[in-house]
Amino acid sequence: MALQFDTLEHLAQGDIPDALGGACLGRPAARQRPCSTWPVQQVRAPLLGGSAEVLHEVWRASPGLVGGHTTGIHWCRSGDVLYGTIELEERDWAGSGACSALEAASEAAYTRIFRLLDAQGLPHLWRAWNYVRDIHGDEAGLERYRRFNLGRARAFEGAARSVVGRVPAACALGLGEGPLSVAFLAGTTPAVPIENPRQVSAYLYPVDYGPRSPTFSRAALVHPDGQEWLFVSGTASIVGHRSMHLGDVVAQTHESLDNIAAVLAEANRQCRSAPFALEGLSYRVYVRHPRDADAVMVVVRQRCGTAPVVCLQADVCRMDLLVEIEAQAGHTARAPFTEGNPP
């Protein structure tokens, strides 16, 4: 059956028999004991601008859920789709020879993910959600986000995945605390990567942004049974490869949404379902400073109408960026192409 995405304020044991996996968003102080048996990514970031202290995001899919715990990955699969989470304590990777602890942990996380996917026969990574403590901190002379990029890229290569072109949609955010955390969706069918003509592809960023470029596409169209999902990666106020509107959070929000609109236009040229529009997506908005949340949300409401939006405080992975926005939507796919049913 189709993949479904829900956001809930309250969740009790046994509430969602067909849960594939999800995320728990909110600050640790408000956190209750986890009450789910499915894989859940703990996103320990303060929720802003709403009444809820914790939100539960759940991917649902049925029938035939199977799952397990494999090399630290908690995963669950339904047919052609698999969701998983992995949390690695960086201290366990301290002293890994030439490479920094975060770099080694990042490589290990992705290496394990690709091994699981290969073993499960769904080799295609569609979307990854990455959270890193102290993302701007220095580790052995390099910003920790750049260490993460080094480890991630090495794992892609080690698992015979391309680091350009066919790469997953993703986000990478800094949090105040916690382990390296990666959640992911993968499938039996390849994702269709989407790039943004207003931006240099992230995997082609010049070396000014680090010795290895980040390994993600601007968006991905994926096709679980009978559906088309669009995952728009974390999107910021970047044009070409440069950060724009330094210090102006309202202008950065507009630029980010202009970028998402451009990504949607590209996706709509390749999609197999109804066109995607700003008002038809569901959003996660990350703001660096809680004080900016209201101003950002005014712009998001102007441009995205009443679309579902969750706003969180997190460190966007370039110091000069104040806001980053990611989005997703699922549509029913058009009937597959056959003779007499032209595209």
Residue number with CB closer to ligand 3EB (87 or 326):
326
The one among 61, 236, 249, 281 contacting ligand 3EB by CB under 6 A = 236
* Residue 260 interacts with ligand 3EB (CB under 6 A): yes or no: no
Q: Is 36 in the site for ligand 3EB (CB under 6 A)?
A: no
Indicate the residue among 202 and 297 with the shorter CB distance to ligand 3EB.
Answer: 202
Q: Which stretch binds ligand 3EB (CB under 6 A): 52-60, 77-85, 231-239, 280-288?
A: 231-239
Stretch that binds ligand 3EB, among 29-37, 65-73, 166-174, 177-185 (CB under 6 A): 166-174
Q: Considering only residues 126, 216, 229, 231, which one is a binding residue for ligand 3EB as defined by CB under 6 A?
A: 216
Range in contact with ligand 3EB (rule: CB under 6 A) among 35-43, 185-193, 230-238, 249-257: 230-238
**Nearest residue (CB) to ligand 3EB, 36 versus 328:** 328
| Residue 170 within binding range of ligand 3EB, rule CB under 6 A | yes
Asked if residue 234 binds ligand 3EB (CB under 6 A), the reply is yes
According to the 3-state scheme, what is the secondary structure of the chain? Answer: CCCEEEEECCCCCCCCCCEEEEEEEECHHHCCCCCCCCCEEEECCCEECCCCCEEEEEEECCCCEEEEEECCEEEEEECCEEEEEEEECHHHHCCCCCCCHHHHHHHHHHHHHHHHHHHHCCCEEEEEEEEEECCCCEECCEEHHHHHHHHHHHHHHHCCCCCCCCCCEEEEEEECCCCEEEEEEEECCCCEEECCCCECCHHHCCHHHCCCCCCCECEEEECCCCEEEEEEEEECCEEECEECCCCCHHHHHHHHHHHHHHHHHHHHHHCCCCCCCHHHCEEEEEECCHHHHHHHHHHHHHHHCCCCEEEEECEECCCCCCEEEEEEEEEECCCCCECCECC
> Which position among 99, 171, 194, 230 is part of the footprint of ligand 3EB (CB under 6 A)?
171
Q: How far is the CB of 100 from ligand 3EB (least distance, A)?
A: 17
For the bound state, the minimum distance from the C-beta of residue 235 to ligand 3EB, rounded and expressed in Å, comes to: 7
Q: How many residues bind ligand 3EB (CB under 6 A)?
A: 12
- Among candidate residues 87, 324, 326, 339, the one labeled active-site is 324
Asked if 194 interacts with ligand 3EB (CB under 6 A), we say no
> Minimum distance from CB of 300 to ligand 3EB (Å)?
17
Q: Which of 172, 186, 262, 267 binds ligand 3EB (CB under 6 A)?
A: 172
Q: CB nearest ligand 3EB: which residue?
A: 234
Give the residues across from 243 on adjacent strands. 238
Maximum distance among all Cα pairs of the chain, rounded to whole angstroms: 62
Retrieve residue 236's tokens: 């910021």
**311 sits near ligand 3EB (criterion: CB under 6 A):** no
Encoded tokens for 5: 């995405």
Please identify which residue in 196, 233, 282, 328 interacts with ligand 3EB, judged by CB under 6 A: 233
Determine if 151 is a binding residue for ligand 3EB (CB under 6 A).
no
Structure tokens at 6: 């829900």
Residue with tokens 């080799």: 123
Indicate if 324 belongs to the active site.
yes
Q: Contact at 8 Å (CB) between 113 and 158?
A: no
Q: What is the CA radius of gyration of the chain?
A: 19
User: Is 19 or 322 the residue whose CB approaches ligand 3EB more closely?
Assistant: 322
Residues labelled as active-site residues: 324
Residues that bind ligand 3EB (CB under 6 A): 130, 170-172, 202, 214, 216, 233-234, 236, 238, 317
